[in-house]
Structure 1
Amino acid sequence: MTATVSLQPPGGVPASGASDVHDAEDLAGFGYPQQLRRRLGSYASFAAGFSFVSILTTVFQLFSFGYSFGGPAFFWTWPLVFTGQFLVALCFAELAARYPISGCVYQWSRRLSTGLTGHFAGWTMLIGQIVSVSAAAIALQVVLPSVWSGFQLVGGDPTLTTRTGATNAVLVGAILIALTTVISAIGVRVMSLINSIGVTCELVGVAVLIAMLFAHAKRGPSVVLHTEGVQGHSAYVWPFLVSALMAAYVMYGFDSAGELSEETRSPRKTAPRAILRALGASGVGGALLLIGALMAAPSLTDGNLATGGLPYVVTSRLGTGPGKALLVDVAIAICVCTLAIQTAASRLMYSMARDGALPGSTRLARVSPRTATPVLPTVIVGVAAIAVLGVNVGQAQLFTALTSVAVVIVYCAYLLVTVPLLVRRLRGLPEAGAGQFSLGRLGLPVNVLAVAYGAFMVVNMGWPRAEVYDPAGGHWYLKYFALLFCAGAGLIGWLMYRAVNASRTPAAAAVSPLAIGDATLEGAE
């Protein structure tokens, strides 16, 4: 039976230009009408992935974590994680060319394997993205009070781990999430404009900051060969593996270009390049930023790098004026990072709802005829992120554990794509269409290494280490929080899968895209 799919979005939103018509026809081949507006070009697509990774946000936030465990030599975890994630990104680039559909991780997984696998990939990715919105928003507290004391709205100590600092972080973060919710709901054009401007500011800021740190260097690049004795009397491999969590926490979300495929012009060509460029730029920029900070730090042994991190280096070495100007740029990066993550999460929720994979799917799958955006998913992601943010008041340890585990669960979602892709390769993956990104003969070894890396990092990040998940002690459950959280998320995901399938009629369930996987790579030719 052949379904007829309208190429005109609801509400009379026309396709603009021959390219948009072709993209709409391409999407119709997967069984979906063109409802979202295609407003993203090459740079905007790149900006979506780069702003999600946001090295200014995450390196400023997590430098102290990596240094406290690994000392200066923790730098080497960055190229190692980058290499592993680039292998994953290469696999994703192939899939972005074959499946230019919103909610990419969910869509890729279910089309390569089964509806159940795809459901878990989408569900775990959605949880990770919602918590990541909270983690990005709370980073404002690390920056804003250092720029101007007036940003400490509740008064008191602005340190994130204190009650006044935590309360202010939740307040400022909630304001930011409310603003990003409105912007994301208004339409992709406004979101794209703000995001592109913000990413441009971040790229300029990264370049200026790197140049200034190198100009104020107190020691040479050989600093990355020293551990400063952090390993004590044990082998350095163990603290090195812990410090690798810093890089792992930073370098994910580059697949956002795929999440916005239905709003991107010529996504089969644009999205793969954007994915690789976003991760590549983040990897190079982050590496230079880490080296520059280590070379310019006033001291490697006074403990400030392990507590104050990169903000301490910037303000102490570059002076109050330049330091605060760069911190303002970091604040901009945090804002566009939050916006990018929230937009990606809303598109994932919309994509799953469109397939009937979530409770209340009928309402969640509606697209506003005026803004051409899924408004309800955007609002739900924002409200859920603010609720997660509230955990930080009086429960800073729990919030830290929660945001850490969110990254573990995203890596699990990535595995639910790379593993099915590997299985499909071993069975014989059809050739890519003309002009599409393809790894060719390198596909199998790259895919094998991507799976091995992903599995190793899931174990490394989820390993029950008290010094990571319960550094203050006294909360046994925090040590095992990664295992408990992943098990709980998996159980909820399974119950949801059963519930949404039980509500279908037998005839609908038989053809449901949630219940079955695709036998072939539809639309790949």
Structure 2
Amino acid sequence: MTATAPSEVRSDPPDHGTAADAAGTDAPGTDAAGTDTAGLAGFGYRQELHRSLGRYASFAAGFSFISVLTTVFQFFAFGYSFGGPRFFWTWPAVLIGQLLVAACFAELAARYPISGAVYQWSTRLSNAVFGWYAGWIMVIGQVVVVAAAALALQVVLPAVWSGFQLIGTDTSPVSSDGAANAALLGIALLVLTTVVNLLDNTVMSLVNRVGVTAEIIGAVLIVTLLFTHADRTPSVTVHGGGGSSALLVSSIAAAYVMIGFDSAGEMSEETRDPQRVAPRTILSALAAAGALATLLVLAALLAAPSLTDGRLGTEGLSYVLTSRLGDGVGRALLCDVAVAVTVATLAIQTSATRMLFSMARDRALPFSGPLARVSPRTGQPPAPALVVGVLAAALLLLNFGSPDAFLAIGTTCIVMLYLAYAMVTGPQLLRRLRSPLPPATDPSGNPLFSLGRWGLPVNALALLYGLAMTVNLAWPRATVYDPSGGHWYFQWFTLLFLLAVLLVGFLWRTLRAHRGRVAPEGAAVPAPTP
């Protein structure tokens, strides 16, 4: 029995005297493993995942999910093709909005340091049913993000060496050849990341930390070199490009980059002193990645050989690097980007694995038994890693059918995550309107992260931003999602996929309730088992 408090019976908010209340005073606050384990028991769970991650590993979990080099290289051409040089301003705008969300999440990470962060937070702030749907949407979204991240290899590897173009000759990810080749490279990458996720979590953490370090060094080096090769001033960012509608479309690039900072919360049960570490790393990972991404976009605009020859809108950053820095340096830096893509895919798959595990041990998913099992030797849940890898690979097969699937997959995943985030900040705001969140302290009485009197305005702005961005991302623009025409289902892919996810979830819950396997709403939360 891995948990004595299944989420299906958690219907009361944490301030009604449930075990979750203990986070304010009794949850872990020191670096002693025994204290961390005792704090987890206060939520009704046994310590099964190996608690071996330090502060940098926690930071790396969030930073590598965001993965500046992966996502900026993947979506720069898309953003520029719609917004032109002015699309630069979407980056600081999205960063500010996401920092509001991250601040709200940091508060919750200090109070509820549990794997399956979004699912756990939403459940405790609202009720079991709403929290389940938040977790269901989040985990499906994460699986789609894994697939989308793996596709990014196509933007990098063929530019390093033509031998990586195994299918056809056109390397563009939106061409038939490029889309099929992207799927092939992505499936190979998923095999690698799944194997690593089946190993000891110290191996996974080591790979992640080394990769993040290489990515940070590479990103700083790229930014520095591009600035030294700049031919124009930042004033170009206020000229050219489309109007406000085009900027809303181009903001999809920045929105895709700055997600996944909650991964530090996902890894809380494997982090030492998570109540102090996770809030800081959630904020620092987003701030560092967002600042680097913004500088990278600006540097590319200033150093690009031309803003009007059309190549920035088709080849993106790979074109800038190889043109300005030469084939040798450019290809070397692209190799670093390939490492970043690999580590990002690994980190996103790990995060999705923890979400599946967290929901399964609450018996909130089909096949919960195998999905909740943790290997005592590796400290990893093997079944979720395999499920995420297989499902993500299956999604990549869509790329063989149509190049438009590349953008459809990428947009769908960020809509899912933005919606899941709003399903946390929404209940969090309602909770604040009823009464302030209780202050969180460690066992010594020292305060943990809190927004204090800024909590209400920050929370309200975070929710408004999240909902507005969700609508913007999901809007069925034919020019974006079905540019070649004739595939109406790609134009509506995001909404159709979301509806399908909700329908499948509803049918499963209805079937389970019909079989009498769901406890009545309002049932008391069982006391934790020692």
- For normalisation by structure 1, the TM-score amounts to 0.91
Match for residue 198 of structure 2?
A: 185
Per the TM alignment, residue 431 of structure 1 is displaced from its structure 2 partner at its CA by 2.2
Cα distance between partner residues in 1 of 2:523 and 2:332? 56
- Residues 130, 300 of structure 1: CA spacing in aligned structure 2 closer, same or farther, 3 A cutoff? same
**Partner of residue 277 from structure 1, selected from 258, 269, 284:** 284
Cα distance between partner residues in 2 of 1:77 and 1:440? 29
Match for residue 123 of structure 1?
A: 136
Matches within 5 A, 1:5-404: 19-154=32-167, 156-227=169-240, 230-231=241-242, 236-404=243-411
Cα distance between partner residues in 2 of 1:512 and 1:133? 37
Cα distance between partner residues in 2 of 1:89 and 1:195? 21
- Residues 483, 214 of structure 1: CA spacing in aligned structure 2 closer, same or farther, 3 A cutoff? same
Identity %: 57
Match for residue 12 of structure 1?
A: none
Unaligned stretches of 5+ residues in structure 2: 6-29
- Residues 248, 22 of structure 1: CA spacing in aligned structure 2 closer, same or farther, 3 A cutoff? same
Match for residue 439 of structure 2?
A: 431
What is the SS of the residue equivalent to 1:305? coil
Q: Deviations over 1:106-165 (max 9, x none)?
A: 000001101111111111111111111111111111111111122223453333233333
Cα distance between partner residues in 2 of 1:430 and 1:384? 40
| Equivalent pair of 2:88/2:298 in contact (CA under 8 Å) | yes
Match for residue 489 of structure 1?
A: 501
Q: Deviations over 1:156-191 (max 9, x none)?
A: 333323333333222221111111111111121001
Per the TM alignment, residue 508 of structure 1 is displaced from its structure 2 partner at its CA by 7.8
Cα distance between partner residues in 2 of 1:246 and 1:105? 23
Does 1:421 pair with 2:434? no
Give aligned pairs, total. Answer: 497
What is the SS of the residue equivalent to 1:254? coil
| Equivalent pair of 1:356/1:500 in contact (CA under 8 Å) | no
Cα distance between partner residues in 1 of 2:236 and 2:301? 7
Per the TM alignment, residue 212 of structure 1 is displaced from its structure 2 partner at its CA by 0.4
Q: Which runs of 4+ in 1 moved over 6 A?
A: none
Cα distance between partner residues in 2 of 1:157 and 1:466? 24
Q: Deviations over 1:312-355 (max 9, x none)?
A: 11111110011001000000000000000000000000000010
Cα distance between partner residues in 2 of 1:418 and 1:509? 23
| Equivalent pair of 1:359/1:500 in contact (CA under 8 Å) | no
Unaligned stretches of 5+ residues in structure 1: 6-16
- Residues 62, 505 of structure 1: CA spacing in aligned structure 2 closer, same or farther, 3 A cutoff? closer
Cα distance between partner residues in 1 of 2:244 and 2:348? 33
| Equivalent pair of 1:501/1:509 in contact (CA under 8 Å) | no
| Equivalent pair of 1:355/1:512 in contact (CA under 8 Å) | no
Per the TM alignment, residue 481 of structure 1 is displaced from its structure 2 partner at its CA by 2.1
| Equivalent pair of 2:174/2:406 in contact (CA under 8 Å) | no
Match for residue 14 of structure 1?
A: none
| Equivalent pair of 1:346/1:374 in contact (CA under 8 Å) | yes
Per the TM alignment, residue 192 of structure 1 is displaced from its structure 2 partner at its CA by 0.4
Per the TM alignment, residue 406 of structure 1 is displaced from its structure 2 partner at its CA by 1.3
